[in-house]
Amino acid sequence: MASAWQSRSQGVRILQLHPLSPGNGDSVPLKAVVHARTNNTALIPLRYDVVVNSESTHNSNRSSRILRGMQRAARWVIFDARAANERGRHAPRMLRIVPTLIVSVTAAAIGAWAIFVGLAYVGGSDIGMIPRFDSVPTADLADLTRATVTAAGVIVGIFAVVYAYRKQRVEEAAGRRADSELLGKRFSDAVEQLGHDSAAVRLGGVHALSRLADDDVTQRPVIINVLCSYIRLPYSPEDAPRGEREVRWAVINTIAGHLQDPEDVTTWCGVDLDFSGATFDGGSFNGAKFIGCDVTFEGATFVGGVTSFNKTEFVSGDVSFGSGSSAPADINGGEITFIGARFVGGSMTGILTSIRNGGRMTLAATEFANGSKFWFSACDISDGGSISFGDIEWRGSTIRGGIINFAAARIREGGALEFEGIRMEGGSIDFKGLELSGGEICFDQAVFTGGKVSFPESENMSGVVSFHAARGADQIVTPWPVSVHPHRSTRTRSE
């Protein structure tokens, strides 16, 4: 199935999903109907058609772009439908009626005779398999016949119960198939709405997909991927059509709304979210609980507004703005806030991430527990960009364990790392290999009671490293004092 899909997907520009109509064959190129096959036996047709129209590759309207972004999601729809067939979601295959009747009548006759012979033998009469009724007393023959009929009736009743159970299973399978077809139609209708030119209709498509994910748990990961695919579509805030920002924010709010309670039956917790390459100009994930899942922002661009993760929880998962093996995120004038967030055994990586043009990442009042990691090695902060764990506006973060790593980071002119008012009780902050060239690192009013802060021993750092009114720094920070060449900061700070 996978190879067939891959061979048919080369060069595809437009993908459309429609309710399935009956057909035969594995696949037909151009306006193709794809069927699953197991051991060369065609299964009942899948929930969806996959229709490839190569003549429309030149079409650049909105629907085309959205459908292109959903190819990967459609592939999983096909795989899920195939799995549904294999689980017996559709009606089981029935035996042919005439052979079944012949076998059933023959088996019933043989069974009745065997019962009669057995009862006679128990009663002391041996009539054998060939009838010899003279060996049975006449007075007992009627009783023996009644007993045989009763036993046969019990067996028939058992067969009737089995038949009724099988009939119920067939009816239930038919009901599930009808439900599956209805859900498939709802999915295709919602996708069509999501590709509409009207923002109001697209909003309706977002809510329709959300309701469908609540109703059909088997399609939930597919629908989440479709919504993430929408966010990953090319987007420019300046050139976006009217209402597009509201649609994108509605998608984000829908995802965040399903991540509030991990115990809810409609929760989306535990499902990976892929926003790689997306453009953000705001949106709220506030209060979400990312538990056991990965959230990817690699290659994403934050160009304005505030994308907030305030009071969120990250447990045993990874939030990635750059892993080092793919394009990193670019925080170019936008702001990302994690105010009041908790990291427990999870990690946030931002290797090679760029923060510039006033871009900002705020982690004030955040808690880092044991096992958590904040890994922004080799990141580049400049031109008013900053990462803040605490400042004059927000209470500093509490670092109880874990690792905060800025090894080989570049803090250039106008860039800053802010740790004002943090409380460090354990864990480590690593600046080894740091390149400080006109930037600023501030630990003013920080309180150090445990852990370790490591700066490079090189004296080639040029900028500002401040520990004004900090307590316990001389016991935690190495080397102490930190050697740095004076440099006039270009940033405006309140005393």
pLDDT of residue 377: 94
Residue 115 and residue 449: Cα distance in Å, rounded? 88
Lowest-confidence pick of 31-40, 130-139, 442-451: 31-40
Specify if 264 maps to a domain. no
Contact 227, 255 (CB under 8 A): yes
Q: How confident is the model at residue 224 (pLDDT cuts 50, 70, 90)?
A: very high
Mean pLDDT calculated for residue range 232-242: 93
Same domain, 112 and 69: no
Query: In this predicted model, which residue has the larger pLDDT, 418 or 83?
Result: 418
Query: In this predicted model, which residue has the larger pLDDT, 94 or 191?
Result: 191
Contact 247, 239 (CB under 8 A): no
Domain final residue pick, 122, 139, 170: 170
Same domain, 473 and 333: yes
According to DSSP, residue 329 is labeled P
Same domain, 334 and 396: yes
Contact 8, 52 (CB under 8 A): yes
Q: Is the pLDDT of residue 321 over 80?
A: yes
Q: Is the pLDDT of residue 130 over 50?
A: yes
Q: Is 35 helix (H, G, I), strand (E, B) or coil?
A: coil
Same domain, 22 and 157: no
Q: Which of 337, 378, 319, 389 has the alpha carbon at shortest distance from 354? A: 378
Same domain, 79 and 107: no
Same domain, 341 and 449: yes
Same domain, 161 and 14: no
Cite the beta strand spans of 151-296 per DSSP E. 273-274, 279-280, 283-284, 289-291, 294-296
Question: Residue type for 173, please?
Answer: A
Give the HSE-up count for residue 85: Cα atoms under 13 Å, Cβ half-sphere.
Answer: 18
pLDDT of residue 200: 94
Residue 187: CB atoms within 10 A of its CB come to 24
Domain final residue pick, 28, 63, 90: 90
Query: In this predicted model, which residue has the larger pLDDT, 228 or 459?
Result: 228
Same domain, 56 and 102: no
Specify if 323 maps to a domain. yes
Lowest-confidence pick of 33-42, 154-163, 270-279, 416-425: 33-42
Q: Is the pLDDT of residue 151 over 80?
A: no
Same domain, 17 and 147: no
Contact 381, 406 (CB under 8 A): no
pLDDT of residue 290: 94
Q: Is the pLDDT of residue 303 over 70?
A: yes
Specify if 395 maps to a domain. yes
Q: How confident is the model at residue 391 (pLDDT cuts 50, 70, 90)?
A: confident
Specify if 483 maps to a domain. yes
Residue 469 and residue 310: Cα distance in Å, rounded? 28
Residue 52 and residue 356: Cα distance in Å, rounded? 43
Q: Which of 232, 217, 223, 214 has the alpha carbon at shortest distance from 187? A: 223
Specify if 262 maps to a domain. no
Lowest-confidence pick of 45-54, 147-156, 355-364: 45-54
Each residue of 445-463: pLDDT tens digit? 999 999 999 998 876 688 8
Same domain, 134 and 77: no
Same domain, 53 and 113: no
pLDDT of residue 162: 76
Contact partners, residue 397, CB within 8 Å, separation at least 6: 363, 364, 365, 366, 367, 368, 389, 390, 422, 423
Specify if 226 maps to a domain. no
Domain final residue pick, 65, 90, 115: 90
Contact 377, 403 (CB under 8 A): no
Q: Is the pLDDT of residue 83 over 90?
A: no
Specify if 354 maps to a domain. yes
Query: In this predicted model, which residue has the larger pLDDT, 347 or 62?
Result: 347
Domain tally, the chain: 3
Residue 379 corresponds to which tokens in the numbers above? 């990141």
Structural domain containing residue 114: 97-170
Q: Is the pLDDT of residue 375 over 90?
A: yes
Specify if 225 maps to a domain. no
